[in-house]
Structure 1
Amino acid sequence: MTFDLISAPALAQQSDRASVAIVDCRFSLADPQLGRQQYDRGHIPGAYYLDLDRDLSSPKGARGGRHPLPTPDALAPKLAAMGIEPETLVVAYDDSKGAFAARLWWLLRYWGRDRVALLDGGWSAWVAGGYPISTEVPAPKAGNFQPQVRTDWTVDLEEVKARKDLPGVVLIDARESDRYRGDREPIDPVAGHIPGAVNHFWQDACDDRGFFLPPNLQQQRWAHLAPEDEIIVYCGSGVTACVNLWSMAAAGISGAKLYPGGWSEWCSAETPPA
């Protein structure tokens, strides 16, 4: 395992499953029930399920982003019930090139737990490898998950407004290029991007099969960044931006911050789009 990544063969060969917590994060924005249905039809043996809307996000308010960060009080007991201890390796997977698994990867690190990895190739790689599949939902365990929030890992709307045009600040939009340009907006009521943002599509961290590019190619994605830059990453609602944050970590870049509200919060605040 390197750079917070584990292969399907390596996960299948884990001899001490008690030290590993596997989390199925499959989800569909178009069909929010699909991920749980897929999990019920078959998942990696011993895997628990976390839903983007119900578990990895707080309820959406009248204003703000579509997927507010969950509170520690809401999610930490669920993580403890997976048996997560300080030394537990958490492995997250989905079938969407890490779109939703990376949200959990980032959340755990944001809450002070660095032993977390994405399954390279996701669910498809596990199935293609012919590894066992289960429909059994594992019983709750008695874990000990005590969040230690790294409060300097995020910025809010007002901080983005205040900092985005400062010298040395790089604001990165992780959405598709046509959404960034404002040619298309299938989810939010306004099209466009935050003025001054540059576009780096999150899926460029992977190949066409959903396997992550090697570290040298992750480094090439961010070759324009300087070590002293202040980096802020966003997407529509703080989910797929986490794939870019994973990519930066794989490239050896630290200190990048997430704007969780993303474009959905920015446009709902009636800020004129670019």
Structure 2
Amino acid sequence: MDEDVVVSAEWLAAHRDDPDVVVVDVRDNWEYDGIGHVPGAVNIPFDAFRAVDADGEGGEGMLPDPDEWRALLESRGVEPSDTLVAYDDTHGVFAARFLVTALVMGHEREGELRFLDGDYSAWTREHPVESGSVEVEESVYEVERPAETPLVDVAAVAAAVESGAVVVDTRSPEEYAEGHVPGAVNLDWRELVDEESRGLKPREAVEAVLASKGVERGEEIVLYCNTARRISHTYVVLRWLGFEDVAFFEGSMTAWEAAGRPTERN
């Protein structure tokens, strides 16, 4: 992902009919069918690509099994070279999780990943919607996970804490106060979102929020939450801004506490 990862509704309107662009709606099926969706979008609900249980210290957290991911994308007609544009109706947090999953599963080996700024509401303000399912032709999709990913495990996070890396807890202040990784700073992922537009705050405003937390370029940054959903949004934002040294603690607090690691309260 790069600075082009975040796209507007206008960009989507201009590219939606491109045969190499697949729009992915990650809302529940009843919302997709009943409320409506971006014309031509395929439905891949969040629960469809979410493992049921985190797996402790191994680093894989709640990522889906690669074979299940492959079958899921094939059933929606996704090709390895497609540009995937994901959206939800929750400020993009679930869409971001889809994109991070695709990244870890190697989609950027041939294809590209895009995040619709302002979620579904950004589209509905000025563009038509449709209801019902979209018929697609099943594809052939191979999962080839890259040799290097941003994922880190419990041991790597513990080492980052010792080395003075900027460990970022993206949960609410209340959750953070109840217990967090020692030394972590609290950056509620919603601080980067404009509640009125439902999209990201202007770039300068986002940069200012990050800087106020010590999240700056040149620092080693480690992100976590509870089960890696909320950090997906923050990860996408940081990649959009051009941050390079960003680690993704997939196991998050679930794995940290399961491993018996210490927590801090304040």
- Confirm whether residue 195 of structure 1 aligns to residue 182 of structure 2: yes
Where in structure 2 are the equivalents of 1:34-113 lying within 5 Å? 35-41=28-34, 42-55=36-49, 57-60=50-53, 68-113=62-107
Match of 1:232 in 2: 222
Cα distance change of structure 1 residues 102 and 233 upon mapping to structure 2, 3 Å threshold: same
Q: Matches of 2:51 and 2:201 in 1, distance apart?
A: 31
Q: Residue type of the partner of 2:32? A: Y
How far is 1:200 from its partner?
0.9
CA deviation vs aligned residue, 1:26-61 (integer Å, no higher than 9, x gap): 2xxxxxxxx222122122222222233332x22315
* 2:113 aligned to which of 112, 116, 119: 116
- Confirm whether residue 162 of structure 1 aligns to residue 152 of structure 2: no
Q: For residue 17 of structure 1, give the secondary structure of its aligned residue in structure 2.
A: coil
Match of 2:192 in 1: 205
- Confirm whether residue 221 of structure 1 aligns to residue 215 of structure 2: no
How far is 1:81 from its partner?
3.3
Q: Matches of 1:66 and 1:24 in 2, distance apart?
A: 24
CA deviation vs aligned residue, 1:160-218 (integer Å, no higher than 9, x gap): 22331213x11100111111112xxxxxxxxx111111111111222013111233333
Q: Matches of 1:100 and 1:229 in 2, distance apart?
A: 27
Q: Matches of 2:124 and 2:21 in 1, distance apart?
A: 19
For the Cα contact (< 8 Å) 1:24–1:93, is it kept in 2?
yes
- Confirm whether residue 6 of structure 1 aligns to residue 7 of structure 2: yes
Q: Matches of 2:55 and 2:115 in 1, distance apart?
A: 33
CA deviation vs aligned residue, 1:67-102 (integer Å, no higher than 9, x gap): 611122220232233333343110100011111100
Q: Matches of 1:10 and 1:225 in 2, distance apart?
A: 29
Cα distance change of structure 1 residues 264 and 15 upon mapping to structure 2, 3 Å threshold: closer
How far is 1:146 from its partner?
3.4
Q: Matches of 2:260 and 2:228 in 1, distance apart?
A: 19
Q: Matches of 1:194 and 1:15 in 2, distance apart?
A: 42
Cα distance change of structure 1 residues 16 and 103 upon mapping to structure 2, 3 Å threshold: same
Cα distance change of structure 1 residues 9 and 145 upon mapping to structure 2, 3 Å threshold: farther
Q: For residue 194 of structure 1, give the secondary structure of its aligned residue in structure 2.
A: coil
For the Cα contact (< 8 Å) 2:16–2:23, is it kept in 1?
no
Measured on the aligned residues, the alpha-carbon RMSD in Å equals 2.5
Q: Residue type of the partner of 1:160? A: V
Q: Matches of 1:43 and 1:253 in 2, distance apart?
A: 32
Fraction of identical pairs, as percent: 29
Q: Matches of 2:16 and 2:259 in 1, distance apart?
A: 50
For the Cα contact (< 8 Å) 2:42–2:133, is it kept in 1?
no
Match of 2:234 in 1: 244
Q: Matches of 1:70 and 1:273 in 2, distance apart?
A: 28
Q: Matches of 2:7 and 2:114 in 1, distance apart?
A: 6
Q: For residue 151 of structure 1, give the secondary structure of its aligned residue in structure 2.
A: coil
Q: Residue type of the partner of 1:179? A: E
Q: Matches of 1:90 and 1:24 in 2, distance apart?
A: 10
Q: Matches of 1:245 and 1:88 in 2, distance apart?
A: 21
How far is 1:248 from its partner?
0.8
Cα distance change of structure 1 residues 61 and 242 upon mapping to structure 2, 3 Å threshold: closer
Gapped runs of 5+ residues in structure 1? 27-34, 183-191
Q: For residue 219 of structure 1, give the secondary structure of its aligned residue in structure 2.
A: helix
